[in-house]
Amino acid sequence: MKTLTLDIETYSSADLRKTGVYRYVEEPDFDILLLSYVINGGEIKTIDLAQGEKMPENSFMPFFQMMSSSGLLTLSLSGFVSRNG
């Protein structure tokens, strides 16, 4: 099974527990601060977006696009993406 594990750290002035995820991300000050990912149990990679780092060309996006186009994608709020099968 191929896996993509994601963890994001975010900021919003809205209280996620009180407003829910949709209101939280719709706040004008919502921002993704850090993004960490692991492909197939490999090395943990972290991108500090708050400090201006950019997503690398060879990031997880080709993997994610392949998985989503196959129709075999599971995504949960815990940030775990896996292929069923």
Res. 20: pLDDT tops 70: yes
What pLDDT score was predicted for residue 28? Answer: 94
Model pLDDT, residue 76? 43
> Tell me: the pLDDT tens digits for 52-65?
998 776 666 666 66
Check: CB of residue 4 under 8 Å from CB of residue 70: no
Query: pLDDT tens across 44-53, in order?
Result: 888 898 999 9
CA-to-CA distance for 73 and 70, rounded, in angstroms? 7
Instruction: Tell me what pLDDT residue 63 has.
Output: 62
Going along 2-58, which residue ranges are E strands? 3-11, 31-39, 45-48
Residues 60 and 49: their CA atoms lie apart, in Å, by: 16
Q: Give the distance, in angstroms, between the CA of residue 56 and the centroid of all CA atoms in the same chain.
A: 14
- Output the average pLDDT for the chain: 75
